Chain A
Amino acid sequence: MFVCKRRRRLAAIVWGALVLATGAPAARAAEPEVSPDGPEHGKVYFTPEQALARVFDGADRQWTETWEPTPDERAALAGRLGLQVPEPAFTFHRASRAGRELGWALVLEEKGRFKPITFLVHVGPDRRVEAVLVMVYRESRGDAVRRARFLGQFTGKDGDDPLRLNRDVVGISGATLSSRALAAGVRKALVLTEARYEGAP
């Protein structure tokens, strides 16, 4: 009787594995293709409100400031990043607690392999990264980049750090392009904050 139960359980596991192996690609093929990566998954891990509440925990005042870089500022940003800056404007989220500034938070998007990754970078008052949160991940694989093991590497980095994969950032195996996109995005957030709030306390 006991052996029978165990056999049934084993058979169920084997069948489950087979269904997963054969059914999943078929189900995926049936969906309409919108990119080489397949349909967008768009897994939301944090809404903007949730992400801001997390990084500005305990804040008694929150506000936003929008920055539209001038052509000269844009050229200077591109020169520092080595990449064109196509966004027309940037929104800096700010907060304070008991009159003390808690830094800046930027919500940015960087393209992974096929689709953009939405993430938040919290830069502290000392211009160092306090936290990075992946808010929306749209690729079909590689969402391991949202784990603390990877994102924790950015904590404490500043604008002088290279933030390069294989150098001061260790990428996630199987999610190299997402890792690189996030590293480039964090560097962009640091450069933007420095450029906009140069000399600010």
Chain B
Amino acid sequence: MSSRHKRRLRGAHEKLGLFLAAGALLMILTGLALQHPGWLGRGALPPRVVTADPAAPGRLLRASPALLEESLDGGATWNELPLSAAPDAPVAAAFAPPPARGAWLLGATELLASADGGAVWERLELPPGVGSGDPPLALTVTADGRPVVVAAHSAWLGGPLGEGGGARWTSLWRVEPTRGDRLRLAVRRLHTGHWGPPLTPRLYDLAALLFVAVLATGVARAARARRRHRQGPHR
């Protein structure tokens, strides 16, 4: 191969390298932005859950992230309820069949119960394992006013309100996660950085930092080599 072809090949190789590096950098930047949603500003937080009060026609409860609202006119107007610790990620809400006034609000990591139709709430313990590795998916209430929580791998029947509420959970079923489920969870934790002791950086951030360091040192080395190559004949 002639030296001219070698130079062309090296030039094409460098351009390709820069193109790939730019693509990788773009992937890193978009990945970092997605890993830290706060960087992109606040998004819309529309209601995710709505339920009708069977004891009061026209009364609805709806939950948005960190907000619980009530409507007394079938949804035409909404008033904020003073629950400052409303679930950040509401999943489901349900009322007990009348004449009971029980209400439950299920979040991704918590369960709230009310004995007065939703005016005053108390935090209940979620069933064992639900909310940590077994995300809650659905909620219903039995005819005798007991909550039923369905999670990805299990379902639980709670005690009636005032008698332990969600403190006494009975397992309805449990499906053991498969090896694939466990692997997926491990990979997700590794990817999102939920691993290691406190103050451990997110793996994505660490990888991004390493990549940028490698890129910067690589570019610096290439620039120095080029400079040396140019200065070579004069030395």
The chain A residues found within 8 Å of chain B, CB to CB, are 17, 20-21, 24-25, 27-28, 36-37, 41, 43, 78-84, 86, 110-111, 113-114, 140-141, 143, 162-167, 170-174, 176-177, 180-181, 183-184, 187-188
Task: Say how far B213's CB is from chain A's closest CB, in angstroms.
Answer: 10
Given contacts A166-B65, A166-B66, A173-B36, contact A80 B82 (CB under 8 A): yes
The chain B residues found within 8 Å of chain A, CB to CB, are 36-39, 42, 45, 65-68, 80-85, 88, 109, 119-123, 129, 131-133, 194-200, 203, 206, 210
Contacts of A187 in B (CB 8 A): 84
B109/A82 in contact, CB under 8 A? no
The complex places the Cα of A162 from the Cα of B83 at a distance, in Å, of 10
A140/B65 in contact, CB under 8 A? no
Residue with the highest number of chain A CB atoms closer than 10 Å, among B45, B82, B129: B82
The complex places the Cα of A81 from the Cα of B122 at a distance, in Å, of 11
Q: Binding site of A, secondary structure by majority: helix, strand, loop or mixed? A: mixed
Q: Residue on A with the closest CB to B129?
A: A36
B81/A82 in contact, CB under 8 A? yes
Given contacts A17-B206, A165-B88, contact A25 B195 (CB under 8 A): yes
The 9 A-B residue pairs whose C-beta atoms are closest, nearest first, are: A82-B83, A36-B132, A184-B85, A82-B82, A173-B38, A24-B196, A84-B122, A165-B66, A184-B84
Task: Say how far A126's CB is from chain B's closest CB, in angstroms.
Answer: 21
Tell me which of A17, A80, A83, A176 contacts B121 (CB under 8 A).
Answer: A83
Tell me which of A20, A81, A180 contacts B82 (CB under 8 A).
Answer: A81
Q: Residue on A with the closest CB to B123?
A: A111
Tell me which of B37, B120, B198, B203 contacts A82 (CB under 8 A).
Answer: B120
Contacts of A167 in B (CB 8 A): 66-67
Given contacts A140-B197, A165-B66, contact A84 B121 (CB under 8 A): yes
Q: Could you list 9 examples of A-B contacts with CB < 8 Å? A: A79-B120, A83-B123, A113-B109, A140-B198, A166-B67, A172-B38, A173-B38, A181-B85, A184-B84
Residue with the highest number of chain A CB atoms closer than 10 Å, among B36, B68, B84: B84
Contacts of A180 in B (CB 8 A): 66, 85, 88
A24/B84 in contact, CB under 8 A? no
The complex places the Cα of A21 from the Cα of B65 at a distance, in Å, of 33
Task: Say how far B134's CB is from chain A's closest CB, in angstroms.
Answer: 10
Q: Residue on A with the closest CB to B131?
A: A36
Q: Residue on A with the closest CB to B203?
A: A21
The complex places the Cα of A171 from the Cα of B123 at a distance, in Å, of 21
Q: Residue on B with the closest CB to A181?
A: B85
A20/B200 in contact, CB under 8 A? yes
13 more A-B residue pairs beyond the given contacts A36-B132, A83-B85, with a C-beta to C-beta distance below 8 A:
A17-B210, A28-B197, A80-B82, A82-B120, A82-B121, A83-B123, A143-B198, A165-B66, A165-B88, A173-B37, A173-B38, A180-B85, A183-B84
Q: Residue on A with the closest CB to B80?
A: A162
A20/B196 in contact, CB under 8 A? yes
The complex places the Cα of A167 from the Cα of B67 at a distance, in Å, of 10
The complex places the Cα of A115 from the Cα of B36 at a distance, in Å, of 24
The complex places the Cα of A166 from the Cα of B65 at a distance, in Å, of 8
B84/A81 in contact, CB under 8 A? yes
The complex places the Cα of A140 from the Cα of B37 at a distance, in Å, of 21
Tell me which of A21, A41, A79, A83 contacts B84 (CB under 8 A).
Answer: A83
The complex places the Cα of A174 from the Cα of B198 at a distance, in Å, of 12
Given contacts A36-B129, A41-B198, A180-B66, contact A163 B84 (CB under 8 A): yes
Contacts of A173 in B (CB 8 A): 36-39
Residue with the highest number of chain A CB atoms closer than 10 Å, among B131, B132, B198, B199: B198
Tell me which of A17, A110, A141, A164 contacts B66 (CB under 8 A).
Answer: A164
Q: Residue on A with the closest CB to B36?
A: A173
Q: Residue on B with the closest CB to A188?
A: B84
B197/A24 in contact, CB under 8 A? yes
Q: Residue on A with the closest CB to B65?
A: A166
